[in-house]
Amino acid sequence: MASPILISKPVHSISTWVVLKSIELTLTSFFKSLQNAELYTKPNVILFLQSLKVSIVLYIILNIPYYFIKSMLPGEWLALCPYSVNLFMLTLCNYLGPSSQGLFLSSLKYNNMEYYKSILLVSSARHHIQYDGSWHDKLQYLFKHSRQFKLFLRRYTGFYLLNCIIFITTFFPSRISTFVLGLISFLTFLDKLGPFESAVVVAILNFCDYYYTTLILTTYYGVNNLAQDLVIPYFNEIDFTYSEQQQWLKTRQGVLFGISLVYFWLLHQCPILSMTIYLFAIMTMGYIIPSITSCPPSHLGKLQSWCTGESVWVVGSLF
């Protein structure tokens, strides 16, 4: 019998309608999660106050070099750099500093108590082990014991390699840079839109300024990375295999894209509050998770078959 992973069709999980409905879901979930009384407990208040300090420090660290480099190198593309680096730094700070895992679980608990109890029963955390030590020791610990951390580093390595390629093309003749960016754009949207639609998008972008092509590419990959960052707390709780996790993400990519697009825009508009916005995004994701997944089984023996079943999901069941 064929695996359900092989016969599912994740290509249908993303569309303009799904993204728009996901944006609506994000806004309503955010305001509902603000009614959670646990959000205003002392540990969470301290967490948000610390996030304000981290936000300001990151803003200073990322923007001073940016303005210096901007005076030396041409290109509107450089305006996107601080936001690209900021995404990586936010999740890295979340790993090395006070974790938002508790905030995620608190929001999930507020939305669905039964789901919360079930997830604690089958939780893989062993994850809740708190490692106390220097940031250097904690990094070594994460490299050895956290698969999610290694996947996080791999994703952003690919993301920054793409940014380097885009930057290098600014020094090429316009025909070469247009071809390279067109090829990257086509391969990016091929499995999302289809060959004809992707070709149309590339043709339109070729008539636009170079800046808009780089903006679309860096925004798309930036939102995708943020989407995967926001579900790290969930994957810390449930021990999916690598293939199950990737399929889980593919079948929900439209919903996750819409959720992350809201917070990516907020990060772009108000970078000085980036870490605080990031925590609100984690909180919102905790509230939404029960809507895009089924309740975990109450016994570990049923977890493997449940994880396989979660890899097959139809977005129509949500909207």
For tokens 């000085």, the residue is: 272
Q: Tokens standing for 154?
A: 């791999």
Q: Show the 3-state SS of 157-199.
A: HHHHHHHHHHHHHCCCCHHHHHHHHHHHHHHHHHHHHCHHHHH
| DSSP code, position 240 | -
Length of the chain: 319
Q: How far apart are CA 112 and CA 246, in angstroms?
A: 25
User: pLDDT band for position 277 (50/70/90)?
Assistant: very high
Burial 114-140 (b: 16+ CB within 10 A, else e): ebbebbeebbeeebeeeeeeeeeeeee
| CA distances from residue 94 to 60, 84, 221, 278, 282 in whole angstroms, order as listed | 18, 16, 20, 9, 11
- Global pTM value: 0.88
The reported pLDDT for the residue numbered 123 is: 82
pLDDT tens digit string along 165-186?
887 887 788 788 888 888 888 8
Q: Which DSSP string do the residues of 91-120 spell out, in sequence order?
A: HHHHHHSS-SHHHHHHHHHHH-HHHHHHHH
* Range with lowest mean pLDDT among 26-30, 116-120, 200-204: 200-204
Q: pLDDT above 90 covers what percent of the chain?
A: 44
pLDDT at position 130 is: 54
Torsion on CA atoms 129, 130, 131, 136, rounded to nearest 10: 120
Residue-range definition of the domain harbouring residue 304:
8-125+155-317
Domains: count for the chain: 1
Q: How confident is the model at residue 36 (pLDDT cuts 50, 70, 90)?
A: very high
Residue range 288-307, pLDDT digits in tens: 999 999 999 888 788 888 98
Looking at residue 292, its pLDDT comes to 94
Q: Which residues contact 289 (CB under 8 A, 6 or more apart)?
A: 108, 115, 231, 234
Q: Give 1's pLDDT tier (boundaries 50, 70, 90).
A: very low
Instruction: Write out pLDDT tens, residues 110-156.
Output: 999 999 999 988 886 555 455 566 777 888 888 888 889 999 999 99
132 domain residue, yes or no = no
Mean pLDDT of the chain: 84
The residue to which tokens 């990519």 are assigned: 253
Quickly state the pLDDT bin for 79 (edges 50, 70, 90): low
What is the H or E stretch that residue 269 is in?
A: helix 253-269
Q: Classify the C-alpha dihedral 65-71-72-75 as positive or negative.
A: positive
> Is residue 34, in this structure, part of any structural domain at all?
yes
* C-alpha span between 186 and 193 (Å, rounded): 10
Percent of the chain with pLDDT over 70: 86
Q: How many CB atoms within 10 Å of residue 196?
A: 8
Q: What does the block give as tokens for 247?
A: 């399929």
Grade residue 3 by pLDDT with cuts at 50, 70 and 90.
very low
pLDDT tens digits for range 219-239: 899 999 999 999 999 999 998
CB of 12 closer than 8 Å to CB of 194: no
What is the Cα–Cα distance from 254 to 315, expressed in whole angstroms? 8
Residue 85 belongs to some domain of the structure: yes
Residue 44 lies in a domain: yes
Residue 143 lies in a domain: no
Residue 162 belongs to a domain: yes
Of 12-21, 41-50, 82-91, the range with the highest mean pLDDT is: 41-50
pLDDT at 69: 66
267 inside domain: yes
Measured CA to CA in angstroms, residue 32 lies from 6, 70, 109, 283, 284 at distances of 37, 41, 13, 11, 9
Asked if residue 3 belongs to a domain, the reply is no
